[in-house]
């Protein structure tokens, strides 16, 4: 059955899904995704990024605040979970402790009123699939974590769902078991041809298993792509930082296929307009150590850590710190040269060079931001305006200007904001919700109590969730009127 | 200065003394009185007397009747309350739970006297409905003991189990009967134990309600007040055995329902 004009290959489509909780916290924001039949899709992101909420909306445990979830072209976003041909493998397995393994797996089949013989046959078959033949009469409590995990998968798969949802299913297992289960799950997916939607915060797990990865942060999709795309061509600094280790440097394009960062010029493969501010991402394994004379960048080794397959070497060059993975060791204190091949440099146009915050104006002509602490001369930004003798803002004809509809954009560069741990030092307080190391400084996102996000560059290391006060020098702020 | 050190054995001595004085010794006293007559000679007459007297057997049956009905009423009143409270998203639900437990903070005599006044107002003469009044009085007294264990088990119920049932195709009613109810059995059993046993013996409630009916407790009381230690002790002993059997049964039941995180909050 085909409805709308959706692609028949897509088993499920999420269209501008947004979930806002009662306390006005936006967990998922404008989420758009198409999943093809039989695909293995992974939602990847740090905790609190909205990946589990999205999965729960597909399962039916949460109803989206707005948007549509189309299953084979039909909107199911308001259907209860028991009416959806979708099954879930829960994070902590959620096996029924009062039932034995057989009854756990047969739970869904019995509700479908299948014949006893058929149920027995199906349970036996699915137990074989997860390598736990003959476990029918065992109690849940007598099983190890890995075995419980397999039963949870069997219990979901026995219902032959159109989509299998997996909510960090391997999170509670030890490393070796996790690796084994990753391969097994991947094998099961290939054999069964069922669509898998998988949630994890483990980037390696996502890269190993998925056909398609959806990287999420703060309720928004950062990038959708194949594991190779995500790893080799990260769209922004967040993705680059989250997927694998990377060196991220601020830089600038200096010519056709030429880029300057870390105090040196490099050839690159990304054709970006000359003079554009960029972030350059270099994977640690793409940096080649050579002699100081041959290197484009010269530096000094400050640490060497043996990591089994390779050494992790940290080199300081000027203000920049560069992490290198190499099979050859180096000595701390060595002067070395570094080379980077053009295909080892990935360039992203700096998305957030400036903080631009939109705000209204209150009745006393103060900006509705930072508790009116900013002194903005409205006559300078509203054309042909002046204050009359009653201190009312008027236009050329002397008529009062309706300020309630006007919006002012407050702009300040990240490097102009200073952070302090003295709450009274600056104009506003907030918590650090994100930090990315960019070679010679850290780029922070500070969320204020009024839910405004400021990007702040600072050379000192602060911790996630640190409470900081933002010092914004008055003269560094520019105001523009929103048209 | 040398500190004083006690071994674990030494620390146990006060408790052992307490148990000997107040549990084991009285038990032997009861057994002694139960199997002797007025002259201090061994006899089983008290035992045979209990089972041959229609009065005592009738009282036993009546006590069971009151206890079963009281427990049933408590269970059916408590489960929905506990369920609604445990499943609701109410912010101050502990306060509401406290409201149900609050009567226990008021002096027992005061509570029953108040109940007596209300019942008299409704019924006129309390003697007309002895059985009903007994059940009302005991339900009023014991309801919190049923609510609390059930509430605790329901509170500890892992929400993902309910979601899993829902996910596997069960509607809310099916989820209740296939998951919630079986998993709250430990709480129900604790509640039954806490209500059933006292309601067989707590004759003070009945006495205060001017109730002429006899339950096991009142029988013992009447023998003792007539200085008949022997028959009174025998009834006490029989009651003890009944309770023992009952407890063993429920314990086995709790073991079988596995995952026996029985919510004995009290």
Chain A interface includes B165 (CB < 8 A):
yes
Q: What is the ipTM of this complex?
A: 0.75
Please report, for the domain that includes residue A374, its CATH number: 2.40.50.140
Q: Are residues A431 and A362 in the same domain?
A: yes
How many helices and strands, by DSSP H and E, does chain A display? 9, 30
Residues from chain B contacting residue A97 (CB–CB below 8 Å): 183, 258-259
Q: Is the pLDDT of residue A451 over 80?
A: no
Which chain B residue shows the shortest CA-CA distance from A83? B169
Is residue B22 included in any domain, yes or no?
Answer: no
Distance between A155 CA and the closest CA of chain B, angstroms: 8
Q: Are residues A20 and A166 in the same domain?
A: yes
Contact A108 B169 (CB under 8 A): yes
- Which of A210, A143, A141, A144 has the alpha carbon at shortest distance from A177? A144
Q: Are residues A225 and A296 in the same domain?
A: no
Number of structural domains (chain A) is 3
Is residue A126 included in any domain, yes or no?
Answer: yes
d(C-alpha A407, C-alpha A49), whole Å: 30
Q: Are residues A165 and A259 in the same domain?
A: no
Chain A interface includes B257 (CB < 8 A):
yes
Is residue B250 included in any domain, yes or no?
Answer: yes
DSSP B108-155: HHHHHHHHHHHHHHHHSSGGG-HHHHHHHHHHHHHHHHHHHHHHHHHH
Query: For residue B19, what are its two tokens?
Result: 């148990």
Q: Are residues A176 and A38 in the same domain?
A: yes
Give which of B162, B164, B172 to mutate to test A binding, by max A Cβ within 10 Å: B164
Distance between B261 CA and the closest CA of chain A, angstroms: 11
Q: Are residues A340 and A380 in the same domain?
A: no
Number of structural domains (chain B) is 1
Stretches where chain B sits below pLDDT 50 are 258-266
Contact B164 A90 (CB under 8 A): yes
Contact A97 B167 (CB under 8 A): no
d(C-alpha A426, C-alpha A370), whole Å: 10
Chain A interface includes B164 (CB < 8 A):
yes
Domain that holds residue A153: 10-232
Distance between B193 CA and the closest CA of chain A, angstroms: 21
- Quick one: pLDDT band at residue A222, thresholds 50, 70, 90? very high
Q: What is the pLDDT of residues A1-27, one digit of tens each?
A: 444 444 568 899 999 999 998 877 889
d(C-alpha A377, C-alpha A479), whole Å: 9
Domain that holds residue B187: 44-256
Chain B interface includes A224 (CB < 8 A):
no
d(C-alpha A125, C-alpha B230), whole Å: 68
Please report, for the domain that includes residue B190, its CATH number: 1.10.3720.10
How many residues does this entry show for chain A? 483
Contact B259 A82 (CB under 8 A): no
- Which of A75, A85, A51, A71 has the alpha carbon at shortest distance from A198? A51
**Confidence at residue B115, expressed as pLDDT on a 0 to 100 scale:** 87
Partner-chain residue, chosen from B165, B171, B258, that has the shortest CB–CB distance to A139: B258
Is residue B7 included in any domain, yes or no?
Answer: no
Q: What is the pLDDT of residues A165-200, one digit of tens each?
A: 999 998 878 888 888 889 999 999 999 989 999 999
Q: Are residues A325 and A371 in the same domain?
A: no
**Among A184, A202, A232, residue at a domain's last position:** A232
**Confidence at residue A321, expressed as pLDDT on a 0 to 100 scale:** 87
Q: Are residues A450 and A435 in the same domain?
A: yes
d(C-alpha A140, C-alpha A151), whole Å: 9
Is residue A94 included in any domain, yes or no?
Answer: yes
Q: What is the pLDDT of residues B168-223, one digit of tens each?
A: 999 999 999 999 999 999 999 999 988 988 888 777 777 777 666 777 888 888 88
Looking up tokens 């880029």 gives: A259
d(C-alpha A9, C-alpha A13), whole Å: 11
Contact A141 B259 (CB under 8 A): yes
Contact A61 B182 (CB under 8 A): no
Please report, for the domain that includes residue A146, its CATH number: 3.40.50.300
Chain A interface includes B188 (CB < 8 A):
no
Chain B interface includes A111 (CB < 8 A):
yes
Contact A98 B183 (CB under 8 A): yes
Is residue A102 included in any domain, yes or no?
Answer: yes
Q: Is the pLDDT of residue A259 over 60?
A: yes
Q: Are residues A184 and A53 in the same domain?
A: yes
Q: Answer for the pair A204, A174: CB distance below 8 angstroms, yes or no.
A: no
Contact B174 A111 (CB under 8 A): yes
Residue of higher predicted confidence among A81 and B220: A81
d(C-alpha B73, C-alpha B143), whole Å: 9
* Cβ burial, residue A41 (10 Å; 0-12/13-18/19+): buried
Chain B interface includes A21 (CB < 8 A):
no
Give which of A55, A62, A94 to mutate to test B binding, by max B Cβ within 10 Å: A94
Give whichever of A98-107, A226-235, A348-357, A396-405 has the largest mean pLDDT. A98-107
Contact B259 A155 (CB under 8 A): no
Q: Are residues A226 and A325 in the same domain?
A: no
**Among A309, A334, A349, residue at a domain's last position:** A349
Q: Are residues A94 and A166 in the same domain?
A: yes
Q: Are residues A60 and A208 in the same domain?
A: yes
Chain A interface includes B170 (CB < 8 A):
yes
Cα angle at B207 between B201 and B213, to 5 degrees? 70
Contact A90 B258 (CB under 8 A): no
Partner-chain residue, chosen from B158, B168, B179, that has the shortest CB–CB distance to A87: B168
**Confidence at residue B266, expressed as pLDDT on a 0 to 100 scale:** 33
Is residue A240 included in any domain, yes or no?
Answer: no
Chain A interface includes B156 (CB < 8 A):
no
């Amino acid at each position: 059955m085909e409805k709308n004009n959706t692609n028949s290959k897509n088993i499920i489509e999420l269209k501008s899904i947004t979930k806002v909780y009662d306390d006005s916290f936006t967990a998922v924001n404008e989420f758009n995704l198409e999943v093809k039949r039989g695909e293995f899709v992974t939602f990847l992101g740090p905790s609190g990024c909205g990946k589990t909420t999205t999965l729960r909306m597909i399962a039916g445990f949460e109803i989206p605040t707005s948007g549509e979830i189309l299953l084979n072209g039909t909107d199911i976003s308001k259907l209860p979970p028991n009416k959806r041909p979708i099954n879930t493998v829960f994070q902590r397995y959620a096996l029924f402790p009062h039932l034995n393994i057989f009854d756990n797996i047969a739970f869904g089949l019995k509700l479908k009123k299948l014949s006893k013989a058929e149920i027995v046959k199906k349970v036996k078959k699915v137990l074989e699939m997860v390598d736990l033949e003959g476990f029918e009469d065992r109690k849940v409590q007598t099983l190890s974590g890995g075995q419980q995990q397999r039963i949870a998968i069997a219990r979901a798969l026995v219902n032959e769902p159109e989509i299998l949802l997996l909510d960090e299913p391997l999170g509670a297992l030890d490393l070796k078991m996790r690796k084994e289960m990753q391969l097994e799950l991947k094998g099961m997916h290939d054999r069964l041809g069922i669509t898998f939607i998988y949630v994890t915060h483990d980037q390696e797990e996502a890269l190993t298993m998925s056909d398609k990865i959806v990287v999420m942060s703060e309720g928004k999709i950062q990038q959708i792509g194949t594991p190779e795309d995500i790893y080799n061509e990260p769209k922004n600094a967040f993705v680059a930082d989250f997927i694998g280790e990377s060196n991220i440097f601020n830089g600038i394009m200096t010519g056709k296929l030429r880029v300057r960062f870390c105090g040196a010029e490099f050839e690159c493969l990304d054709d970006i307009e000359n003079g554009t501010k960029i972030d350059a991402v270099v994977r640690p394994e793409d940096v080649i150590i050579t002699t100081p004379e041959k290197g484009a960048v010269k530096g000094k080794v400050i640490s060497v850590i043996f990591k089994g397959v390779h050494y992790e070497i940290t080199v300081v060059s000027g203000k920049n710190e560069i992490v290198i993975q190499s099979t050859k060791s180096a000595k701390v204190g060595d002067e070395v040269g570094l080379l980077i091949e053009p295909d080892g440099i990935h360039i992203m146009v700096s998305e957030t060079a400036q903080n631009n915050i939109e705000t209204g104006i209150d009745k006393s002509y103060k900006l509705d931001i930072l508790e009116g602490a900013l002194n903005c001369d409205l006559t300078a930004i509203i054309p042909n305006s002046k204050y009359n003798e009653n201190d009312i803002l008027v236009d050329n004809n002397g008529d009062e200007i309706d300020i309630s509809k006007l919006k002012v954009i407050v702009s300040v560069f990240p490097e102009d904001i200073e952070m302090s741990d003295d709450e009274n030092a600056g104009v506003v307080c907030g918590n650090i919700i994100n930090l990315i190391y960019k070679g010679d400084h850290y780029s922070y996102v500070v969320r204020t109590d009024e839910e405004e996000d400021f990007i702040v560059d600072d050379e000192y290391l602060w911790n996630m969730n640190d409470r900081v006060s933002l010092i914004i020098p008055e003269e560094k702020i520019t105001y523009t009127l929103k048209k | 200065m040398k500190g004083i050190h006690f071994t674990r054995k030494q620390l146990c001595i006060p408790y052992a003394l307490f148990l000997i004085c107040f549990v084991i010794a009285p038990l032997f006293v009861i057994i002694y009185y139960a199997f002797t007559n007025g002259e201090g000679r061994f006899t089983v007459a008290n035992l045979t007397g209990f089972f041959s007297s229609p009065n005592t057997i009738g009282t036993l049956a009546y006590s069971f009747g009151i206890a079963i009905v009281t427990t049933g009423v408590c269970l059916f009143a408590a489960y929905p309350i506990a369920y609604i409270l445990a499943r609701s998203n109410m912010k101050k639900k502990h306060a509401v739970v406290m409201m149900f437990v609050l009567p226990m903070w008021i002096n027992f005599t005061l509570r029953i006297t108040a109940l007596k006044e209300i019942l008299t107002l409704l019924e006129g003469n309390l003697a007309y409905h002895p059985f009903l009044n007994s059940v009302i009085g005991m339900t009023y007294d014991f309801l919190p003991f049923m609510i609390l264990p059930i509430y605790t088990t329901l509170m500890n119920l892992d929400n993902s189990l309910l979601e899993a049932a829902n996910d596997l195709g069960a509607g809310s009613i099916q989820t209740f009967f296939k998951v919630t109810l079986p998993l709250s059995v430990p709480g129900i059993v604790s509640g039954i134990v806490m209500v059933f046993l006292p309601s067989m013996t707590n004759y003070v409630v009945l006495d205060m309600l001017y109730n002429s009916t006899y339950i096991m407790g009142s029988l013992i009381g009447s023998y003792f007040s007539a200085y008949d230690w022997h028959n009174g002790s025998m009834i006490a002993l029989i009651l003890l055995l009944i309770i023992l059997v009952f407890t063993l049964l429920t314990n086995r039941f709790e073991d079988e329902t596995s995952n026996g995180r029985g919510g004995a909050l009290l």
